[in-house]
Amino acid sequence: MELFLQYFPNAMLLFCRITSFFLVAPVFTARNVPMQFKIGLSFFLTLMAISAIGEAPIPMDGEYLLSIIKEILIGLLLGLIANLFFTAVQIAGAFIDVQIGFAMANVIDPMTGVQTPLLGNFKYFIALLLFLSFNGHHLLIQAIVDSYEWVPLSNDLFAHIYQGQVSEFFLQSFIKAFALAFQMAAPLVASLFLVDVGLGVLARTAPQFNIFVLGIPMKILVGLLLLFLFVPGMYNLFSDLFRTLFEYVTRLLELLAMRGSS
């Protein structure tokens, strides 16, 4: 009992980081994943991690509340970086929806409970299935457990936030995710833009055609046909996306591992 009480503060800090990570990380943040499962998984990972990291007991003094806030923020930062690149898939789908004419046909995503683009939701589920087939959820669990080797309980998170390093890193991550979203949507967007150009030329050369009636179903037909042709290439596309995701998670851990005075 004395040993349990001695390491109980450490276990609470581990539990805070792991639980906050699962609240925002992809796959685990879905609404259809029960909260009891997330808490139970966090509890068992805490039991395994506390026996592996071997840190000295942390006293429950006045700085303990700040340590809890730091651990929650670290878990949220790691989860948000991973979730940001999944959001890039929905952004790419939104770009395509605008061109194909599905922008007004948003649907409710059962995973998040918010309105998402039609093709963005389609691509998101394909990305999610490929992520699970690649054992990406196992790599996420490994990342949060291995984060204690990079960022121990006694870390300088507030120093990094004060120096602007965390904000700059998230800005770079957002730019990278937006660029990836544009690259994923570029083939379809460019093709549908050429369809618009062709319809514009047709409207000038043959004004008797009703372009508004002819153009909308033509763009939908061409867009769905091209999407069907591009589906086999999504494997390599999402493989590169997941590789970038874990690369940025590692870069964030390297950033937080540095001392605040660097």
* One-character DSSP codes across 180-240: HHHHHHHHHHHHHHHHHHHHHHHHHH-TTS-HHHHHHHHHHHHHHHHHHHHGGGHHHHHHH
> At which residue do the structure tokens 């290439």 appear?
233
- Residue scoring higher pLDDT (35 or 259): 35
DSSP secondary-structure letter at 101? T
- pLDDT digits over 166-190, tens only? 889 999 999 999 898 888 888 888 8
pLDDT at 3 over 70: no
Query: What's the pLDDT score for residue 59?
Result: 75
Average of per-residue pLDDT values in the chain: 82
* Alpha-carbon radius of gyration of the chain: 23
Q: Strand, helix or coil at 34?
A: coil
Query: What's the pLDDT score for residue 95?
Result: 84
Is pTM beyond 0.85 here? no
Query: What's the pLDDT score for residue 116?
Result: 67
C-beta of residue 67 within 8 angstroms of C-beta of residue 158: no
Average pLDDT for 225-245: 86
- The phi, psi pair for 106, rounded to 5°, reads -70, 150
Query: What's the pLDDT score for residue 260?
Result: 47
Beta bridge partner(s), residue 107: 116
pLDDT at 148 over 80: yes
- Residue scoring higher pLDDT (211 or 71): 71
- pLDDT digits over 84-137, tens only? 888 888 888 888 887 887 766 665 655 555 666 677 778 888 888 889 888 888
pLDDT at 225 over 60: yes
pLDDT at 262 over 50: no
Query: What's the pLDDT score for residue 19?
Result: 92
pLDDT at 14 over 50: yes
**Residue 248 confidence class, pLDDT cut points 50, 70, 90:** very high
Q: What tokens were used for 78?
A: 């790691």
198 to each of 193, 201, 203, 215, 216, how far by Cα in Å? 9, 5, 9, 10, 13
Average pLDDT for 202-211: 77
